[in-house]
Amino acid sequence: MPTMDRFNAILNGKRDAVLADIRRLQNEEKSLSRDVGLREVMDTKDISFRDSVAVIRNAGLRREAEELEDIRAALARIENGSYGICIVCDEVIPEARLEAWPTAKRCRPCQEKREAEKAGRH
C-alpha cells in the first residue's frame, strides 16, 4: 500500500533523527566526563552546574529513548498490518492525525479519554 510506504519512510526518517540526537547527547556526556576528569580542583558552584547539566542531558536521553521506542512500535505495527488502527476501539485513525503524529496508536477520542483519566489521577 502506498500510504504505508509513506509512513514507513516518515518513521524511518524520524528514527534516524532520534538516533543521531542520542549519539550527540552521548558524545556530549563523554566529553563532559573527560572535562571533569582533567580538573582535579573544582569549586562547588562548578560541580553543581555540571551536575545540573548531566541531569538535564539524562532527561533528554530518556525522552529520546521513549520516542525511539514509540517509533519502533509504529514500524512494527506497519509490519504486522495494524498501523493506523486504534489499539483501544479498533477504529481507523484518520490519516491527517497520523501525519501530524506518525507514532499515534489511539484515535483522537480514545487519546483524549486516556489523557482525561491520567489528569484525573493527579
CB atoms within 10 A of CB 83: 24
| Of 18 and 105, CB closest to Zn ion | 105
Query: How many residues line the site for Zn ion (CB under 5 A)?
Result: 6
25 lines the binding site for Zn ion (CB under 5 A): no
98 lines the binding site for Zn ion (CB under 5 A): no
Q: How far is the CB of 116 from Zn ion (least distance, A)?
A: 14
Q: Which stretch binds Zn ion (CB under 5 A): 6-14, 35-43, 59-67, 90-98?
A: 90-98
| Angstrom distances, CA of residue 109 to CA of 10, 67, 99, 115 | 24, 22, 17, 10
Q: 78: Cβ–Cβ under 8 A, 6 or more apart, which residues?
A: 4, 7, 8, 11
Among 11, 71, 74, 86, binds Zn ion (CB under 5 A): 86
110 lines the binding site for Zn ion (CB under 5 A): yes
Find residue 85's DSSP bridge partners.
Answer: 92
Closest among 83, 61, 58, 62 to 72, alpha carbons compared:
83
Among 20, 42, 55, 89, binds Zn ion (CB under 5 A): 89
Binding-site ranges for Zn ion (CB under 5 A): 86, 88-89, 91, 107, 110
